[in-house]
Structure 1
């Protein structure tokens, strides 16, 4: 594949489409940029050669046109001096040069068209390179933003885990405080009861137990 066909392929390719088909867009676009830069360097050499050929043909064509004009002037001069044979020879030389000009003109026109086309392709390729570099900058910015969001998410998760742990500690502290308060209440209740009150309390408890036991026996006898 020629460098100029490769230029056409790159110019016609969509950078976004290329990036959508790969897993690592940033790596892909770096590769695209390197390839474009290499192709541009080669394309510039090709364009320089094409322009040089065009200029060379143009100079050659201009030189022969001047020769043709010169022989035309000589033929007129000879004819003015009644030297018809000499004028005829001069015109014969002019005709020979005219045939060379007829062959050179299409070659020069083709070379001029080629150099113009290649210059346009080179300019388009340079524009695509600029586009790829802008795309790389955008991708790098998006990647940094994504990394920042990921880091922030991880930080928030860590912070939330810390909050969850703190919440558990708070619940444990509340439970311990509740147990301490209950223990203090029992101690206070026991301190408030006199030995006589404790005896009546124990009697009431025994009565409750006997009553519940009697109820169970009654249910079993049914």
Structure 2
């Protein structure tokens, strides 16, 4: 397949269809971009060779133009010396040079047309390459976002997290059992003097709070009675 026909195939390709049919869109995008980059390099190299050929042809044309002028001078000189035969021969050589120059100019024109087409193809291919790179960036961003969301959901609702929390429950049960054993160790043990005194203090405190509560309730009840009277 020629470089320019392949370039036009790439430019005409429907990326959406390619990605929809691809099993791995990200891989397909990478392949498309690689193909475009390689084709772009080849098209530019071909364009560079075309430009070099044009410059070489133009140098030959310039030489042929100079050769025509030289044969014209020789023909004029021959006529001035009454050598019509030599003048005619010089004009024949001049015509040969002119024919070669015209042929080269036609070839240069063909290369000009090819170069303009190549320039258009390069511009279109660069546009498609930007489009493909944008799609690649978009897909990569979407993949990273989806992977991050999956990791976050797996972190707070995945089986590993559930298993970890179930083990927290087991640890809490073990802590309860350890505390129960510690409390069981104190069952049937006589209280110390300090513990009995502290209990009395707590009892006095509770009695004082109970008396204060009764007094407050009694006062509120009396106030309500007065208002009703």
TM range (shorter): 0.5 to 0.7
Q: Where does residue 23 of structure 1 map in the other structure?
A: 23
CA distance in 1, matches of 2:80, 2:156: 104
Does residue 109 in structure 1 map to residue 109 in structure 2? yes
Q: Is the 8 A contact 1:54 1:115 kept in 2?
A: no
Q: Where does residue 55 of structure 2 map in the other structure?
A: 55
Structure 1 unaligned regions, length at least 5: 170-222
Give the structure-2-normalised TM-score.
0.59
Give the structure-1-normalised TM-score.
0.61
CA distance in 2, matches of 1:12, 1:32: 13
For the aligned residue pairs, the C-alpha RMSD in angstroms reads 3.0
What SS does the corresponding residue of 1:148 show, helix, strand or coil? helix
CA distance in 2, matches of 1:24, 1:56: 48
Q: Is the 8 A contact 1:3 1:39 kept in 2?
A: yes
CA distance in 1, matches of 2:18, 2:108: 39
Quick check: 86-95 or 131-140, which moved more?
A: 86-95
Q: Where does residue 118 of structure 1 map in the other structure?
A: 118
CA distance in 1, matches of 2:136, 2:100: 53
Q: Deviations over 1:88-127 (max 9, x none)?
A: 3332221121222232222221122223322332332233
**Aligned pairs for 1:170-189 within 5 A:** none
Q: Where does residue 172 of structure 2 map in the other structure?
A: none
Structure 2 unaligned regions, length at least 5: 170-229
Q: Where does residue 100 of structure 2 map in the other structure?
A: 100
Q: Deviations over 1:59-111 (max 9, x none)?
A: 22222122113323443455466655443333222112122223222222112
